[in-house]
Amino acid sequence: MNSEEDTRIYDHPVVKFDRGKEVTIYLENKPVKAYENETVASALYAAGLRIFSRSFKYHRPRGFFCAIGKCASCMMTVDGLPNIRTCVTPVKNGMKISRQNAFPNAEHDILNIVDKLGFYFSQSSGFYHRRFTKPSFIRNLSMNSLARFGGLGKLPEDTSEIYDVKPETVNLDVEVVIIGGGPAGLMAALEAGKLCKKVIIIDDKPMLGGQLVKQTHRFFGAAKYYAGIRGTKIAEELITSIDDLKSIRSLTNTWAFGVFGNKIIGAVQENKLLNIQAKKIIVTTGAYERTLVFENNDLPGIYGAGGVQTLMNTYAVNPGLKSLIIGSGNVGLILAYQLLQSGIDVPAVVEALPTIGGYFVHAAKVRRYGVKFMPRYTIAKALGRKKVEGAILVALDEKWKPIEGTQKTIKCDSICIAVGLIPTYELAQQAGAELRFSGELGGFVPLRTKYSEVTDGIYVAGDLSGIEEATTAMLEGQVAGLHASLNLGYDDNNVDKQIKELLKELDEERSGPFGSRIRKGLAKVLVDKVN
C-alpha cells in the first residue's frame, strides 16, 4: 500500500459526496487518511490497499468484495478485536488496524506454501484431523502448527483494555420491529410509524437506505414511486421522513443475530446487548450476490456488483482504472454506466446468454460509450497473483460448454460479477418461516400470504421474499407495515382500503411479459393462511 495514494472520486457528474471530517487511522502503525463517513475498508482501499487478509485454509490473498458484511474477505483486527468486518465498520480517529492469518505479513505470507501444496491438502475437507494425528507423539506438535497455518484472528493475551467496559443489556418493548433498512424496510417503517406508537428499524450498516444509497440512476415506473428520481435522492427523502416521525427509532450499526420465541429479537449495538420484545416483526434482510466458479475467482480485484456500487457511489472511491463486467442484466448494465460516469474504462460486458438480459434503455447508454458486448461468452480465468491483472474469456456452445480455441485475453484491474442475487432468508427461517425453492425468485424464499405474513405476527418483504425491482420491494414493505398495524388494532377505517390498493398496484407491476417469471415463482410460494 502506498500511503500517499488516494483513489477517491472528488468530481462526480451526478453525486455530491459528504465525506465528513478528515481523521487518521493506522494500518499496522502506518498513518492512513480517512474521513468520518467512510468505513475502514473503503478508507484503506482508497489508500491503495488491495490485500485485506489471507484465506482461512490456503492463505490466498483476500480483498474487498461485497461491502455489506456478508463475506469474510475484509475481516481484520481493529483496536485489538479480531475478525471485524471492516466493510461495515465506520472509521474513528486513531483507530488501529492490522491484518491477520499471515506470517510475517499479508503481503508476503510464507504460510501461502499451503496453497502451493494444495493437491495434497485438498484431498479431504477434514485433512486437519486425518493426516496429522499419527503417529501419536506428533499429534500435539502438528495440531499447534495447523492452528497457526489455518485460522482467523486471535485475541491478545491481555484483553483487559479491550473489554474494560462491561456490555450493557438493554430491554426494549415495542409494537413493530423492522429488521433491514433497505427500500422495503424503510417503507414498512413509515407505514407502521404513521399508525403505531413504538416502531424500531434495525440495520447493520452505518446508514439506512440499503441498495438505494448506491443507486445513482433515475428510477422508472409511476411518479408516486419516485420515477425520474435517483436512488440516492430517494434514500435521503425516505430517511428524512422516518426521522420526522417521533414514533420510529432507528438503530444503525446494529446486528440482529436472532429471532426467538414470543417474538424476541436479539441484537448487538457496540457494547450493548439489545433484547427487543415485539408484537409484530417485519424481516427485510434483502439479498447477497451470487458469484461464479472460475480459476482464481478469489483474487483481490474481483467484486460483487453491489460491492463496487457501494465503494464508488456511497464512499466515492474508484474500484480501479479498467473494469470488466460479467453479466448483462439490469444490474450489470447500470453498473457499467456508473463506472463510465466515474471515468473508469469498461473494456467489455460479458454475457453467457445469446442476448443481453437487461432493459434496452440501459444497454443503449452503455453502447454510446463504445463498450463491447460479448454474448455467448464467459470468464474462464482471472489473471494475476496478488491482484487482478486481466481475464481469459471463452465462447460457449449451445450446451453451455466452452469452445476450444475461442479464448480471448482482456487486460483489466478489476472484475465485477453481476450474475444475480440470493435472498437472505436465515433470520426469517429462524423466526418460523417455511422455505420453498423458486428459481424464478432467486432461490429459497419464505412461504407467505399475499399480505407478506409468514407466520403469526411475522412478515417478510423485499428481496428476501424474491428478487425483484426496488418498486415492488417498497410496495411489499408498505403492505407488511400496514397489515401489521391493522392486526395491532390500528384501523382508521382506511387501512384495509390502502392494503387492497397496494396489492392491486403490485399485480400491475408484475403484469406483462417481464413479470411472467415472477408470477410463476409467486405461484409456488403464496399461501392462503399461515400458522
The pLDDT score that the predictor gives to residue 122 is: 53
CB atoms within 10 A of CB 183: 33
Q: What is the CATH number of the domain that holds 87?
A: 3.10.20.440
Whether residue 210 contacts residue 181, with contact meaning beta carbons closer than 8 Å, is answered with yes
The pLDDT score that the predictor gives to residue 109 is: 86
Q: Of 118, 149, 180, which residue constitutes the final position of a domain?
A: 149
Residue 9 lies in a domain: no
Q: For residue 6, which amino acid is it?
A: D
Say how far apart CA 179 and CA 266 lie, in whole Å: 11
Whether residue 55 contacts residue 149, with contact meaning beta carbons closer than 8 Å, is answered with no
The pLDDT score that the predictor gives to residue 150 is: 63
Do residues 141 and 229 share a domain? no
Do residues 459 and 491 share a domain? yes
Name the percent of the chain in helix, strand, coil, to the closest 5. Answer: 30, 25, 40
Cell of 447: 412461504
DSSP label of 408: E
Residue 118 lies in a domain: yes
Do residues 271 and 310 share a domain? no
The pLDDT score that the predictor gives to residue 491 is: 82
Q: Which is nearest to 284 in space by CA: 122, 488, 474, 144? A: 474
Say how far apart CA 172 and CA 174 lie, in whole Å: 6
Show the beta-strand stretches assigned E in 147-253.
168-179, 199-202, 248-251
pTM for the whole thing?
0.88
Do residues 205 and 129 share a domain? no
Do residues 470 and 365 share a domain? no
Do residues 276 and 316 share a domain? no
The pLDDT score that the predictor gives to residue 247 is: 96
Q: Which H or E element spans position 106?
A: none
Residue 191 lies in a domain: yes
Do residues 268 and 322 share a domain? no
Residue 129 lies in a domain: yes
Q: Of 419, 454, 476, which residue constitutes the final position of a domain?
A: 419
Q: State the total domains in the chain.
A: 3
Say how far apart CA 452 and CA 460 lie, in whole Å: 6
Per-residue tens of pLDDT for the chain, all 531 residues: 655 578 898 888 887 888 889 999 999 999 999 999 999 999 999 999 999 998 887 888 999 888 888 888 899 999 988 899 999 999 999 999 999 888 888 888 887 887 777 655 554 444 545 555 666 666 666 666 666 666 677 777 776 666 666 778 999 999 999 999 999 999 999 999 999 999 999 999 888 999 898 888 888 766 777 888 888 899 999 999 999 999 999 999 999 999 998 999 999 998 899 999 999 999 999 999 998 999 999 999 999 999 999 999 889 999 999 999 999 999 999 999 999 988 899 999 999 999 998 889 899 999 999 999 999 999 999 999 999 999 999 999 999 999 999 999 999 999 999 999 999 999 999 999 999 999 999 999 999 999 999 999 999 999 999 999 899 999 999 999 999 999 999 987 789 999 999 999 999 989 878 789 999 999 999 999 887
Owning domain of residue 313: 302-419
Residue keyed to cell 429471532: 259
Return the sign of the alpha-carbon dihedral for residues 288, 292, 297, 303.
negative
Show the beta-strand stretches assigned E in 195-271.
199-202, 248-251, 254-260, 264-269
Do residues 379 and 452 share a domain? no
The pLDDT score that the predictor gives to residue 225 is: 76
The pLDDT score that the predictor gives to residue 143 is: 64
Show the beta-strand stretches assigned E in 270-354.
272-283, 287-289, 302-304, 323-326, 348-351
Dihedrals φ, ψ of 154, to 5°? Answer: -120, 145
